[in-house]
Amino acid sequence: MSQKTALVTGGSSGIGAACAAMLAARGFKVYGASRNPKSGAGYLPLTMDVADDQSVEQAIAQILKEAGSIDALVNNAGCGVAGAVEDTSMQEAAHQMEVNFMGAFRVARLVLPGMRQRRSGVIVNVSSLGGLFGLPFQSFYSASKFAMEGWTESLRYEVKPYGIRVVLVEPGDVSTGFTGSRVQARAADPTSAYAAAFAKCMAIVEKEEKKGVPPEAIARVICRIVEGAAKGPRYTCGGASQRLSAVLKRILPGGLFESIIGSFYGLG
């Protein structure tokens, strides 16, 4: 059987790097793509800015020329902007959506035609618990992941007849470089009306992320999906209390759930 090819966006760090290494160890030819790609264990670095049409077009063309097809796509590249809604500029909000949501679309729309013609393929979209409920002071991050959730649900109907699976992965806190790379909205400074609540909330967010599960825990789930062992439409993963929060969101009255999350982030 010929070797299958996987493209993992955001492959230079964290969940993407762990996933690229794991898929390579399982026999895939793997491209780990990002703006500043790094050579990793057994996978090929590829330059790609998911927010840039031309960059994505060039990178996909390179893979297709070298490998012939893309059998698995892991839409994992992402970044975070934190700050109160009022403190976030149009540009900061648009960039968040452009990378986390439009970036996944930008890559998928070039990968889908080949999968459709071969009548097989799998796309894993890395969302977040923040795609299931709004995270305080990370509203545009949550919005980008909510967008990814709805987009994925719709896409699944369209491509199922062509043998293509599209699956959501919703991690809770994972210990990666994400915490350090998160930027604050420029106006989220000490003069903001929200400064005290923002600082209190984000200190808890960062503490929780640092003690989150290792990226390999999420990579294992992604590999099971890619290999067809996990067949569901979405997988919430991470610590037990965080997986529980996804269940609580579904079953508790909205006001009660909001109070629990608010007190957890010191916003009682």
Q: Least distance in Å: CB of 142 to ligand NAP?
A: 10
DSSP secondary structure code for residue 43 in this structure = B
From the list 12, 34, 144, 192, the catalytic residue is 12
Name the β-bridge partners of 167. 124
12 is catalytic: yes
| Nearer CB in complex with ligand NAP: 112/219 | 219
From the list 145, 192, 235, 245, the catalytic residue is 145
User: Where on the chain is the footprint of ligand NAP (CB under 6 A)?
Assistant: 9-16, 34-36, 48-51, 76-79, 99, 126, 128, 171, 173-174, 176-178, 181, 209, 212, 215
202-209 contact pairs (CB < 8 A, 24+): 202/82, 202/137, 204/264, 204/265, 204/266, 205/82, 205/135, 205/137, 205/138, 205/265, 206/179, 208/173, 209/173, 209/174, 209/175, 209/176, 209/178, 209/179
Distance, in Å, from the CA atom of 183 to the CA atom of 96, rounded to the nearest integer, reads 10
φ, ψ for residue 202, nearest 5 deg: -70, -25
Q: Least distance in Å: CB of 246 to ligand NAP?
A: 12
| Nearer CB in complex with ligand NAP: 93/126 | 126
Q: Least distance in Å: CB of 42 to ligand NAP?
A: 17
| Nearer CB in complex with ligand NAP: 176/192 | 176
Nearest to 69, CA basis, from 30, 27, 114, 105? 114
141 is catalytic: yes
Distance, in Å, from the CA atom of 129 to the CA atom of 227, rounded to the nearest integer, reads 23
Question: How many residues are listed for the chain in this entry?
Answer: 268
160 is catalytic: no
| Nearer CB in complex with ligand NAP: 75/192 | 75
145 is catalytic: yes
Q: Least distance in Å: CB of 191 to ligand NAP?
A: 28
Residues classed as catalytic: 12, 127, 141, 145
